[in-house]
Amino acid sequence: MDLPGQVNCETCRIRSCAVEVLDHQELQILKTNCAGAVYKKNERIFQQGSLCSNITYVKTGLIKIHKNGPSKDQILKLVKPPRFIGIPTVLGDKINHYSATALMPTTVCFIVTGIFKTLIMRNGKFANEVINSLCQDELTFYDRSINQMQKQIHGRLADALLFLADEIFLSDSFELPLSRSDLGDYIHATRESVTRTLSRMKSDGLIQMQGRLITLADKEMLVRISKLG
């Protein structure tokens, strides 16, 4: 982790919808209680179980939110910036209920929890935007959760690849930011099953692979596989 020192929220160009509605004075409050940080690939941003007094705002990069389950670690979601994460930690216990780890070089801002709460109390529009964001997360996670449960590996993997292409990289060709093992934790499959399914997709001409570089060759078919489950 690298600390680039003080940030300036007033001139920041990657502001969230929520911060966008703050007035001059509120931005000043935010600015003096906000610190930036830079993370390299695979660096932990915060750790499940540890005490936490900050909300994290992911500005650039890509992170995974993951959590220990009864038998293994599971990736709950990949978070594409810009996005607040860890808001649930404002709750009573102030303990992180999940971990966050950078999958690519990532920049974040930490906002002191108390200040975040103050802004919610003080500015209704801010609160409203935060609520919108939480609601959107909820709906997205419901969808993902149902897909994970009901689709079989081909469908889940197709989902993941389409998500990476369409939501994260905005290109049908990208460097896979996850290892086979991580991909498995993300789509709830074993490393071996991921390998097998990717190989199958390659030999079926759905994707191309050269090392980490993946190209979605037959997107129509991938969408169909995703829909069929």
Partner DNA sequence: GTCAGGATATGATTTATATCACATTTGTAG
Partner DNA sequence: CTACAAATGTGATATAAATCATATCCTGAC
CB of 46 to DNA, least distance (A): 21
4 in contact with a second copy (CB under 8 A): no
Sequence-distant (6+) residues with CB within 8 A of 54 are: 86, 110, 111, 112, 113
User: Under rule CB under 7 A, how many of the chain's residues touch DNA?
Assistant: 20
153 in contact with a second copy (CB under 8 A): no
Q: 101: closest CA among 74, 131, 140? A: 74
Q: 214: closest CA among 181, 182, 171? A: 171
Contact pick of 17, 35, 90, 115 for a second copy (by CB under 8 A): 90
Transcribe 102-136 into DSSP letters: ESSSEEEEEEEHHHHHHHHHH-HHHHHHHHHHHHH
Look at residue 121 and give the partner it binds from DNA, a second copy, none, a contact being a CB closer than 5 to 8 Å depending on partner kind: a second copy
181 in contact with a second copy (CB under 8 A): no
Alpha-carbon distance of 16 to 121, in angstroms, equals 18
Contact pick of 1, 3, 51, 146 for a second copy (by CB under 8 A): 146
Do 198 and 207 contact (CB within 8 A), yes or no?
yes
CB of 131 to DNA, least distance (A): 35
- The residue among 132 and 173 lying less far from DNA, judged by its C-beta, is 173
145 in contact with DNA (CB under 7 A): no
Q: Looking at residues 189 to 218 of the shown chain, list those that interact with DNA (rule: CB under 7 A).
A: 189-193, 195-196, 198-199, 209, 211-212
Residues of this chain that interact with DNA (CB under 7 A) are 71, 152-154, 179-181, 188-193, 195-196, 198-199, 209, 211-212
